[in-house]
Amino acid sequence: MAAAFADDYEISADPGSIEEVTGIYGTGIVGALTTPPAAPGSVQGDQLFSFDDTTTGTTGTFVGYVSTLVGTNEEVLVTSDVSGTDAPPVGSVFDTYIIGGSDFENVYSAIPSASGADIVSDTLSTPFGDYTIPVTFDAADVPIVDASGVPLGNGVDFVPGSALTLTTITGIPPLFVALQGDQLFDVDDAAVRSVGSFTADVTPTADVAGTHTEAALVTSDVSGTAGTAAGDVPPVGSVFNTIEIDGLENFYSDLPTASGGDVSDTLVTPLGDFSIPAMAAATAEAPVSVDLPDGYDIVAVPGSTETFTGVNGLPPLDVAIQGQGEFELESGGAVVGNFNADQTTTLDLFGDTTQTLLVTADGSTGTVGTAAGDLPPVGSVIETFSVAGLEDIYTDLASTTSGGQVLSDTLVTPLGDFAIPVTFDLPGNLATDLFLSVVP
């Protein structure tokens, strides 16, 4: 991989290291609602990587956040240098994209430099040679949108109270990139007096067209009164989004209420401000029950609370809420067993929804396996897509005895259920590491 500062690198997962998976977006089979700036069909995590400077012979390791779009794209954000004297600097972003399973591969890098001017390169590798692609998009320098001024509908604004702490990355640079993290915010009233504070999962994004966005999902109220009245701190589960493009700004907010949500969407233009009807993004936070084709159901454990881990999308167009939750496998209302899963729920302005589960741990009761009534093994993916009264249920159960996969895809309609042929295997393909080739 070209590191673009006088050296060429070979980057790969460090031998023996195992990626710690921290999140998932829709698989791309039925997860069509997972749209940029998230990478649809991707799994996020962190891992130890090895590098080999093929110019100087220097070797070493670094830790990075990684986003894997199965079989196609892999993106790494360097978070710490573990060893080596010529390691890529912290904050470097690397991305390699294989075009349509062909021999064409695009390798992108953005490297922070001591001068403050990041060094960006993009190389297309083909069977006919390697070609340098002119590109100025800098994935290592995503502008942080000023969150202050977002109309909350209750007479307050919020402003950053701390720096953004990064937790992961997603995207396909140089097209688009989304950094994800958490941050403390202070809430000010109309007289610019502090009325409280809250923490939020935050996702600033950028794309090649110059669009900047920042989404926030409130995860805890630190001080002040939580609510939607004048001077209140936004409740846990509130969603905010700011979009900046070509001198226009769109401010979106959704504060959950007992009746559904207090939603506001304002487009700010040189000709004035315009209020826009919008969906309630907080609706995407409620996990839906999955009625499996084998007669079993998956439901959230009663009384359990989802731990929010991220937010993405472009509300009011669409939103994706990431979290971790506890689930039960049931038959006729009787509990067979339970499991934990990373989950992402999505919603668009048409009311279409997707829920994606990635099993991370199985409970102590129940049989783990791939037969009807078994708990899904760790690494399994279950996804439901609901649109216009139709529902598609995709399952990819990790197995060591069935070629690494037990796949099914069922379309549920008022006219009956229809099995759909499917070969896409997410758990099996996660072992594929695209950082294996040196590109000059």
Residue 430 has pLDDT above 60, yes or no: no
Contact of 377 with 356, CB cutoff 8 Å: no
pLDDT digits (tens, 9 = 90+) for 340-387: 999 998 888 888 888 889 898 888 888 888 888 889 988 888 888 888
pLDDT digits (tens, 9 = 90+) for 32-65: 456 677 877 788 889 898 888 877 888 899 999 9
Residue 425 has pLDDT above 70, yes or no: no
Please compute the mean of the pLDDT values over residues 198-218 and round it to a whole number: 92
Query: Any idea of the CA torsion for 311, 181, 17, 125, to the nearest 10 degrees?
Result: 80
Contact of 219 with 199, CB cutoff 8 Å: yes
Please compute the mean of the pLDDT values over residues 234-261 and round it to a whole number: 85
| Whole-number pLDDT of residue 150 | 57
| Whole-number pLDDT of residue 328 | 92
Q: What angle do CA 297, 386, 264 make, to 5 degrees?
A: 115
The pTM is what? Answer: 0.86
pLDDT digits (tens, 9 = 90+) for 289-344: 788 877 889 999 988 888 999 999 888 888 899 999 999 999 888 899 999 999 99
| Whole-number pLDDT of residue 435 | 40
Residue 433 has pLDDT above 80, yes or no: no
